[in-house]
Amino acid sequence: MNFTYPKKEKLKSKITIGLLFSEGKSVSKYPLRLVYHCGPISDGSKIKMGVSVSKRNFKKAVDRNYFKRLLRETYRLNKHILIDNLDQPCSFMFFYQTKDRLSYAEINTKTIQLFEKFIAQNAKKEAVEVKDDSEKE
């Protein structure tokens, strides 16, 4: 299993980020939120991930950077949950949305729950699409 977060997986394209916020869907597990958009990615990679921590909740850049580092680490260690269950390329934006200072263990647990919730929601959506396609025939 590859536990890396290479440059090709980092979400940096302004166009893709704009697409996430205009057409993306969201799933939440307090205090984390995952905004996603599935579709072709320009460089052909399977997944793109970006992280964000609100300046409104953490005024000091040191604190924001600390929580962004935690989010990237929990993603890096748990990305296999997403990759193993994706059938098409997706872009993700990962948010920390509270003033509460949770520990790494709590954030890691919430990340796993969030990824599993995303997979369940995505699987349910695909099941509905398959059912609709079979009814049309």
Q: The domain that contains 88 carries what CATH number? A: 3.30.230.10
State the DSSP code for 101.
-
Return the ∠ at Cα 114 (arms to 113 and 117), rounded to 5°: 85
Whether 44 shows a pLDDT value over 80: the answer reads no
Residue 2 lies in a domain: no
Residue 80 lies in a domain: yes
Whether 118 shows a pLDDT value over 90: the answer reads yes
- For 77, the enclosing helix (H) or strand (E) is helix 61-85
Could you give the number of structural domains in the chain?
Answer: 1
Domain of 98 in residue numbering reads as 8-132
Residue 3 lies in a domain: no
Rounded average pLDDT over 82-97: 92
Is residue 71 exposed (0-12), middle (13-18) or buried (19+ Cβ within 10 Å)? Answer: buried
Confidence (pLDDT) at 76: 94
**Average pLDDT in the chain:** 89
Residue 86 lies in a domain: yes
